[in-house]
Structure 1
Amino acid sequence: MSYIPPHKRQLKDPVSPSPFPDSLATKVMKNTDFKSSSVKVNIAYSRDAIFKWFLIENVIAEESEEEERTRWMLIAEKVEKDLVVAYEQAKKGMQDHHLSDNAKLRLVARFGKILFRRIHAGPVTEYWQAKSSNRTFCTDVPTSFIQNIKSKAIPSHEFCIDLEKEVYVVQISHYTRPHSTIICKCTVKEDGSLSMYKARLEPFLHLVVDVSCIDKNLDMRFMLAGKRKMFTLTEKERSNIQRMLDSVTVDSTVKGGLTWPHGKPPSENGYTIFEVCHVRATTYKNKTLRLRVRETNGYSERFGTWEVERGVTLILQDINTKLQEQNIERGCVLEMLRDALGTIWDFLHCDASLT
Structure 2
Amino acid sequence: MSYVPPHKRNSKDPVQPSPFPDSPLLTKFRRNIDDLKSTYFQGNGIVYSGKYFTKWFLVSSNGIEDEVPPSVNLVPLSSDSSDCINGLKALELMNNHFHKDMITEESEEEITRWLLVAEKVADDLVFAYDQANKRKEDHEISDNAKLRLVARFGKIVFYGRKAGLVVDYSLKNSRRIFSTDVPTSFIQNIKSKAIPSHEFCIDGEKQKYIVKINGPNGIINCKCTAELHPVRHLTIDVSCIDKNLDMRLMLAGKRKIKTLTEKEISNIQGLLGSAVVDLNVKGRLRWPLGKTSSEGGYKIFEVCHARVTIYKKHTLGLKVRETNRFNERYATAEMEKGVTLILKEMNTKLQEQNIERVCVLEMLRDALGTIWDFLCCDANLMQ
TM-score bin (small chain)? 0.7 to 0.9
Q: Deviations over 1:34-68 (max 9, x none)?
A: 45598xxxxxxxxxxxxxxxx9x98xx97843222
* Match of residue 185 from structure 2: 144
- Per-residue CA shift, 1:149-200, capped at 9, x if unaligned? 101100111111112101001112212x2xx3221112xxxxxxxxxx3131
User: Is the counterpart of residue 29 in structure 1 residue 75 in structure 2?
Assistant: yes
Counterpart for residue 222 of structure 2? 184
**Offset at 1:77?**
0.8
Query: Secondary structure at 1:107's aligned position in 2?
Result: strand
The answer (yes or no) to whether the contact 1:260–1:266 under 8 Å persists in 2 is no
| Cα displacement (A) at 1:97 | 3.3
Contact residue 271 and residue 291 of structure 2 kept, 8 A: no
TM-score if structure 1 supplies the norm length?
A: 0.78
Give 1:202-217 correspondences, 5 Å limit.
202-217=229-244
Amino acid at match of 1:239: S
Q: Deviation at 1:353?
A: 5.5
1:163 aligns with 2:204: yes
- Alpha-carbon spacing, 1:181–1:301, altered in 2? closer, same or farther (3 Å): same
Deviations 1:185-225 (A, max 9, x none): 12xxxxxxxxxx3131x332111111111111111111111
Alignment of 1:47-66 (within 5 A): 64-66=106-108
- The residue number in structure 1 matching 2:156 is 114
CA distance in 2, matches of 1:265, 1:294: 27
Q: Which amino acid aligns with 2:226?
A: K
Measure the CA separation in 2 of the matches of 1:165 and 1:268: 33
Q: Which stretch shifts more, 116-125 or 288-297?
A: 116-125
TM-score for both structures, normalised by structure 2: 0.73
Contact 2:142 2:256 in 1 (8 A): no
Unaligned residue ranges in structure 1 (runs of 5+): 1-10, 39-54, 187-196
Contact 2:155 2:245 in 1 (8 A): yes
The CA RMSD over aligned residues, in Å, is 2.7
Q: Which deviates more, 318-327 or 238-247?
A: 238-247
Aligned mate of 2:255, from 228, 234, 250: 228
Corresponding letter in the other structure for 1:228? R
Q: Provide the residue aligned with 2:129 in structure 1.
A: 87
Alignment of 1:1-355 (within 5 A): 14-16=63-65, 18-25=66-73, 28-31=74-77, 34=79, 64-101=106-143, 103-119=145-161, 124-125=166-167, 128-131=170-173, 134-175=175-216, 177=217, 180-186=218-224, 197-200=225-228, 202-228=229-255, 230-262=257-289, 265-352=292-379
Which position in structure 2 is the counterpart of 1:190? none
What one-letter code is carried by the residue in structure 1 that aligns with 2:357? Answer: R
Q: Displacement of 1:349 after TM fit? A: 0.3
Secondary structure at the counterpart of residue 345 of structure 2 = helix
Unaligned runs of 5+ in 2: 1-59, 84-94
Q: Is the 8 A contact 2:68 2:166 kept in 1?
A: no
Question: What CA deviation, in whole Å up to 9, does each residue of 1:232-281 have, x standing for no partner?
Answer: 23454333322211111111110111112206623242222201110000
Partners of 1:137 and 1:167 in 2: CA distance: 23
SS in structure 2 at match of 1:233: coil
SS at match of 2:242: coil
CA, structure 1 residues 103+240, in 2 after alignment: closer, same or farther (shift >3 Å)? Answer: farther
Contact 1:256 1:278 (8 Å CA) reproduced = yes
Aligned length: 306
**Cα distance in 1, alignment partners of residues 359 and 68 from structure 2:** 34
State the alpha-carbon separation in 2 of the partners of residues 160 and 268 from structure 1. 47
Q: Which AA in structure 2 matches 1:151? A: S
Tell which deviates more after alignment, 205-214 or 229-238. Answer: 229-238
| In structure 2, C-alpha distance between the alignment counterparts of 1:342 and 1:37, rounded to whole Å | 35
- In 2 relative to 1, CA 248–62 (structure 1 residues): closer, same or farther, beyond 3 Å? closer
1:19 alignment partner AA: E
